[in-house]
Structure 1
Amino acid sequence: MFGFFAIFSILCCLVSYGESARILGVFPISSGSHYILDYKLMKGLADAGHDVTMITPYSQEKPPKTKGNYSEIILEGFRERISEQHKSMDLFDMGKQNMLRVMSTMISMFGTNMNNTLHDPKVRALLNSNEKFDAVIIEHFMADAMKIFPVVLNCPLILLFSLGPNSWINPTVGNPQEISYSRHLFDRGNNAVPMTFFERIINLFYHLFEYLYNQFLYFPMCNEVLQKAFPGAPDAKVLFKNASLVLLNSHTSLYPAHPLVPNMVEIGGYHVDPPKKLPKDLQEFLDNAKDGAIYFSMGSNLKSKLMPAERKKMILNVLGRLKQKVIWKFEEELPGKPDNVLIKNWLPQQDILAHPNIKLFITHGGLLSTTETVYHGVPILAIPVFGDQPGNAEKAQYAGYALKLGYHDDNFTEENFEQYILELLNNPKYRENAQRRSRLFHDRPMKPMDTAVYWVEYVIRNNGAKHLRVAGADQAWYEYYLVDVSLFLLACLVVVFEISKFVLKKVFLVVKSKLSPKQKLKTK
């Protein structure tokens, strides 16, 4: 009997090994939150038994223990260059910048990033090595020049998108653009309520601006980068729509319901791990929080230490008056810190949110933080600054588990900051709504990571799964929206109208000419 099980186990291992795929991940973005998503996906695929190679500016101090193989190609100097750029930028100021300035900054930064990646010696060596891969995964975030990898390696392209469905990702696979009821990412209005007539007009102009910006600035920049690295490379507009699958970092517990084409799959929350034991000092701090505790973090990119001195003082004044204990992710020592406030420059956010004494999460409203708070059912006070943060905050507030107090809002005062915190702490509806959202988040047929692994394997098994691609993905915008048909029908109506007008005019003249003699007789 033992021999039978031994043979069975060996056969299972052989089958598993035989089905493993070689997967290349291309992730040159030097940002902490993006790296979390990128690494978690690639590690999940390696855990599933696949042979994974990840191109990244980051490296793991300890190689992860996985069922399959995990290796890295480190982009040297990338983190240092981006760090220098961040030092010259005030990310807290970005929320006040207009759409044109933000996109101009991004196009310059990511254009340099793409160019450096394609000319990196280790990357060039890989592309020239004749190595075979079954799929390439790229994060779709101003990295369209990276889509040359599946062309060179002759394999399917899978896109990871750090947000939910929107105008940045929808055209790649022909997903419907819900301009009439879904606000553009840069629209700072209330993202969760129906738009008025004039708001829909403004929303249309946001989408038109983005389309023109891409056509005349972004895609030409990508083509310039591509032609320098790979003379004769396909046009960036062609590569843009070369995706076999899109993995969205969203879920209907976090986003309003949206239509999704068959090769667009939601895996929001796949990066969240089961809670681990906290370090001793944090565990004791939270265990002793008899009146509960508040966790405060502005994410990995925004540095709280860069807040103006008066803003930091105002926040400390409010936190010091609370009976709850507070853990604040802050990057340096903070003079005048109240006794109930614990300061640390790094914190295990997911594990802290899992502690039963956490009553409130004060956050910038980034999607990863919002996802983690919904996972654990903790209400939030969102202080959005830029990017997708205002929209995430609006959605959370509309869902009833958050209040929004924009960092640049005129009503961000000491009095309002305290009032919002007390409302969230003392009104049970926010926690009840957070718990309800958490139940929706967990109520799925498969775990998010299992969903991601299944669909990646599905695309590989089915040689790119072209049968999932909708025809609209390959249509020009004027064909997709029937602009050409509408203009043709309008022209037909004009022609019919003019012909009818001409015919009626002739008939009228004939009738008039025949009636004229009789009219004359009657007058006599």
Structure 2
Amino acid sequence: MKPTALLILLIAIYSAECSKILVVFPMPASSHYILGNALARGLAEAGHDVTMISSFEERNPPKNGSYRDVVLTGFLEEKDKNSNFNFFDLESMNPFFNIPFMNFVGNKATSKTLEHPNLKKLLNSNEHFDAVIIEQFNDDALKVLAYHYKAPLILFSTITVNAWVNFLVGNPAPPSYIPEIFLSYTSQMTFRQRLVNWLFFISSELNRQLFFFPAQNKMMKEHFPDAPDLSILNYNASLVLVNSHESINQPVPHVPNMIDIGGFHVSATKELPKDLKDFMDNAKEGVVYFSMGSNIKPSQMSDEKRTAILNALGKIKQKVLWKWNEDTLPGKPSNVRLSKWFPQQDILAHPNTKLFVTHGGLLSTIETIYHGVPILALPIFGDQKMNAARAETNGYGFSLAFSEITEEKLTKYLNLLLNDPQYRDNAKQRSILMHDRPMKPIDLAVYWTEFVIRHKGAPHLRVAGVDLPLYKYLLLDVISFIVLVSAAFIFLIYFIVKKICCGRRKSEDKLKKN
């Protein structure tokens, strides 16, 4: 074969396998970026040309494929202005207040993303993309990017299957056993919990349809006046990648274009820094790892709670690694080591790690299950309370409300989890379930992304329910018809009985007169 022909053939093969993919994760939160970055890296390492829109910048891009950042500059700086916000105050917030709060967060992030000069520069560059992946997190107006590039829309659900995505793809989600993400319920709900869950479900959906979607549609039209209405774009997803798995979350229905990839962000274990490795290797009784995530600043907790935690940690024989956001901690016991950052996944992978004290965030929950480490959850906000409740139900941990922490309660839970092997055994069993899969979750995400591109949006995966108006989907017209017919039938019976009774009474009155 001539060199020119060979070159053309190689280019054709490469073009057939390499796709241009846009990944959009605008939320200025590291936990969200970790997931978006892991997905973007996985696609790039599979040989694709990936463009990542986010508030962060990748300093070590993957070597295979192609990866570039479109950074939403200023987002993190503005977030830092509110760095004194105390997330501990959210623990006692009524979960229904999350509805308007998420409206505010979503509308603000979406508006600033659409207005950002770096996004506008990309839009004006005349580039094309073969697929657009958008984090489904109260940023529905961004679905217009798939319309703009005439590319299949892929949604990514940062959390488990939830009401934010179910209606968008016609996925059934009965509130009788599927709790809303801001409630601390499991699938086994009492009557009162089912009532609250149903009210939250209805309130959330009414809010989306009457307030949130119209606001998102308005800001979308300001930047893309010729785009179809959001009521059309919102229901045009070819695929939903879900950060969940049966080992982590309760099993729930999935339509064909919903794919679980929970655990895909967990990276290969790396060797710990020498000082940390020596600390853990020499911990004869084991190590307790304590982290409240990337948003919560533990130094903002009350003096009372801090003292209770320090006293309880000082009583155990295990060493403690505590992710603490300041340089010093007055009253720190000798068995506690502080740091502003720890390589969490590598610590959880160490055989001497006996317990993870956590806020119950989903990424932390996934990582602790992946490595088979039991947890003591101290949930504060968001889906943390639901994750904590599930850990307790599944027997690999306990949930203790932060407001209820006392030295005695914390000591009791620490001793139970550290000394009773059933919790570690249950965590190990969950880990086995997470690992027992036909292929790695990141490979699954890559396969289905490529599948959607190959099959031009894969419309054959779309269920009919997504095209039905809500009244048809919920059979409200059928129910109304049955109610009206039943009411008419009852009225007819009543009318007939009344006629007969009235006729008989008139006959009896006539006989009496005669």
Common fold: TM-score over 0.5: yes
Aligned mate of 1:79, from 76, 81, 101: 76
Aligned mate of 1:482, from 443, 450, 475: 475
- CA deviation after TM superposition for structure 1 residue 303, in Å: 1.3
Aligned counterparts, 1:192-231, within 5 A: 192-231=186-225
The amino acid across from 1:480 in the alignment is Y
Look up the match of 1:114: 110
CA offsets 1:468-506 (integer angstroms, 9 cap, x no match)? 111111222221111111011110112223234434555
Corresponding position: 1:361 with 2:356: yes
Tell me how far apart the structure 1 counterparts of residues 175 and 222 of structure 2 sit (CA, whole Å): 36
Structure 1 segments of 4+ aligned residues over 6 angstroms from their partners: 10-14, 508-517
- CA deviation after TM superposition for structure 1 residue 16, in Å: 4.7
The amino acid across from 1:463 in the alignment is K
Corresponding position: 1:163 with 2:148: no
Corresponding position: 1:237 with 2:231: yes
Look up the match of 1:450: 443
Aligned mate of 1:29, from 7, 27, 30: 27
The amino acid across from 2:233 in the alignment is L
Preserved CA contact (<8 Å) 2:99 2:204? no
- CA deviation after TM superposition for structure 1 residue 146, in Å: 0.7
CA offsets 1:276-334 (integer angstroms, 9 cap, x no match)? 10011110000000111111100111111221223222211121222111111111122
Question: What SS does the aligned partner of 1:169 have?
Answer: helix
- CA deviation after TM superposition for structure 1 residue 461, in Å: 0.8
The amino acid across from 2:419 in the alignment is N
The amino acid across from 2:452 in the alignment is V
Preserved CA contact (<8 Å) 2:21 2:133? yes
Look up the match of 2:392: 397
- CA deviation after TM superposition for structure 1 residue 335, in Å: 2.7
Aligned mate of 2:345, from 340, 345, 350: 350
Aligned counterparts, 1:126-137, within 5 A: 126-137=122-133
Preserved CA contact (<8 Å) 1:94 1:102? no
- C-alpha change, 1:105 and 1:486, in structure 2 (3 Å) is closer
Tell me how far apart the structure 2 counterparts of residues 14 and 371 of structure 1 sit (CA, whole Å): 40
- CA deviation after TM superposition for structure 1 residue 105, in Å: 3.1
Tell me how far apart the structure 2 counterparts of residues 238 and 346 of structure 1 sit (CA, whole Å): 44
Tell me how far apart the structure 1 counterparts of residues 282 and 367 of structure 2 sit (CA, whole Å): 23
- CA deviation after TM superposition for structure 1 residue 166, in Å: 1.6
Preserved CA contact (<8 Å) 2:25 2:53? yes
Aligned mate of 1:262, from 234, 252, 256: 256
- CA deviation after TM superposition for structure 1 residue 142, in Å: 0.8
Corresponding position: 1:283 with 2:280: no
Aligned mate of 1:416, from 409, 434, 453: 409
Question: What SS does the aligned partner of 2:82 have?
Answer: helix
Preserved CA contact (<8 Å) 2:183 2:383? no
- CA deviation after TM superposition for structure 1 residue 14, in Å: 6.3
- C-alpha change, 1:514 and 1:308, in structure 2 (3 Å) is closer
Question: What SS does the aligned partner of 2:492 have?
Answer: helix
Corresponding position: 1:338 with 2:333: yes
Question: What SS does the aligned partner of 2:379 have?
Answer: coil
Tell me how far apart the structure 1 counterparts of residues 58 and 14 of structure 2 sit (CA, whole Å): 26
Preserved CA contact (<8 Å) 2:298 2:325? yes
Tell me how far apart the structure 1 counterparts of residues 364 and 199 of structure 2 sit (CA, whole Å): 30
The amino acid across from 1:123 in the alignment is L
Corresponding position: 1:46 with 2:44: yes
Aligned mate of 2:373, from 375, 378, 384: 378
Question: What SS does the aligned partner of 2:247 have?
Answer: coil
More divergent stretch after superposition (31-40 vs 232-241): 232-241
CA offsets 1:403-462 (integer angstroms, 9 cap, x no match)? 111112x3x111110110010000010011011111111111111111111111111111
Corresponding position: 1:138 with 2:131: no
Preserved CA contact (<8 Å) 1:95 1:387? no
Corresponding position: 1:182 with 2:189: no
Corresponding position: 1:301 with 2:295: yes
Tell me how far apart the structure 2 counterparts of residues 239 and 303 of structure 1 sit (CA, whole Å): 39
Tell me how far apart the structure 2 counterparts of residues 343 and 12 of structure 1 sit (CA, whole Å): 54
- C-alpha change, 1:471 and 1:515, in structure 2 (3 Å) is same
Tell me how far apart the structure 2 counterparts of residues 102 and 503 of structure 1 sit (CA, whole Å): 54
Tell me how far apart the structure 2 counterparts of residues 130 and 356 of structure 1 sit (CA, whole Å): 52
Aligned mate of 1:60, from 58, 61, 80: 58
Look up the match of 2:265: 271
Tell me how far apart the structure 2 counterparts of residues 224 and 84 of structure 1 sit (CA, whole Å): 28
CA RMSD of aligned residues (A): 2.4
Question: What SS does the aligned partner of 1:459 have?
Answer: helix
CA offsets 1:326-373 (integer angstroms, 9 cap, x no match)? 111111122332221111101110000000000101000001000001
Preserved CA contact (<8 Å) 1:402 1:430? yes
Percent identity (aligned): 48
Tell me how far apart the structure 1 counterparts of residues 335 and 296 of structure 2 sit (CA, whole Å): 23
The amino acid across from 1:205 in the alignment is L
Look up the match of 1:407: 402
Tell me how far apart the structure 1 counterparts of residues 206 and 82 of structure 2 sit (CA, whole Å): 27
Question: What SS does the aligned partner of 1:460 have?
Answer: helix
- CA deviation after TM superposition for structure 1 residue 374, in Å: 0.5
Aligned mate of 2:424, from 431, 454, 460: 431
The amino acid across from 1:320 in the alignment is G
Corresponding position: 1:105 with 2:101: yes
CA offsets 1:121-166 (integer angstroms, 9 cap, x no match)? 2211222232111110000001111111001111111011111112
Tell me how far apart the structure 2 counterparts of residues 489 and 106 of structure 1 sit (CA, whole Å): 38
Tell me how far apart the structure 2 counterparts of residues 459 and 389 of structure 1 sit (CA, whole Å): 32
The amino acid across from 2:309 in the alignment is I
CA offsets 1:157-204 (integer angstroms, 9 cap, x no match)? 10111111121221110111221112222223xx22522223222211
Gaps of 5+ in 1: none
Tell me how far apart the structure 2 counterparts of residues 200 and 239 of structure 1 sit (CA, whole Å): 32
